[in-house]
Amino acid sequence: MQSVKYAYKDGCETAELGGRPSLSAPPADLARHLAHPEPLRRGSVGERFMKCSKLACACASDPDARHGPYYSLTTAVHGKTKSRYLSADQARIAQQQINAGKRFQQLFDRYWEVCQQWADQQLDESPTAAATSEAVKKGGSKRASNKRWRRRSRS
């Protein structure tokens, strides 16, 4: 895999071409990766071992003899927790989707950060930025404060 160096204000970083972009990639590379959808999911996959209600079953007295594993997917929907049982294969797929969702969130957060730095750079390079920074150095134009008159009580 080929790698490429990107120069930033805070130093140089190396990113690999192809595959998943690193979090230090420039905005175009991050956006290119975000443009390729894949199944994403929020939530968590849990594994449970349960007791049954039969008195004669070994699971009633021995915790190691409980039934399972049973897998469940738990997500928050409109502020409420929703759970659903999954097979072992479905649990594996759901966990992959959750991991993909976490990677997507990291990439999106990095994309937002890089674009915000880019926007700040545009503001710093604008023609009025020099005048604004000069005014800040000089102290700017301050308004004369209006003295507020206190109302005296009549006694």
Domain positions in the chain: 3-122
Q: What residues contact residue 9 under an 8 Å CB cut-off, 6+ apart?
A: none
- Per the model's pLDDT, the better-predicted residue between 15 and 115 turns out to be 115
Confidence bin at 132 (pLDDT 50/70/90): low
What pLDDT sits at residue 155?
58
Q: Do 45 and 102 form a contact (C-beta atoms < 8 A)?
A: no
DSSP-derived 3-state class of residue 83: strand
Report the distance separating Cα 147 and Cα 15, nearest Å. 59
39 upstream amide cis, omega within 30 of 0: no
Confidence bin at 148 (pLDDT 50/70/90): low
Mean pLDDT for the chain overall:
78
Q: Do 108 and 101 form a contact (C-beta atoms < 8 A)?
A: no
- Per the model's pLDDT, the better-predicted residue between 6 and 146 turns out to be 146
Confidence bin at 29 (pLDDT 50/70/90): confident
Q: What residues contact residue 66 under an 8 Å CB cut-off, 6+ apart?
A: 49, 50, 51, 59
Confidence bin at 133 (pLDDT 50/70/90): low
Query: Which range has the worst mean pLDDT, 19-23, 134-138, 143-147?
Result: 19-23
Confidence bin at 1 (pLDDT 50/70/90): very low
Confidence bin at 117 (pLDDT 50/70/90): confident
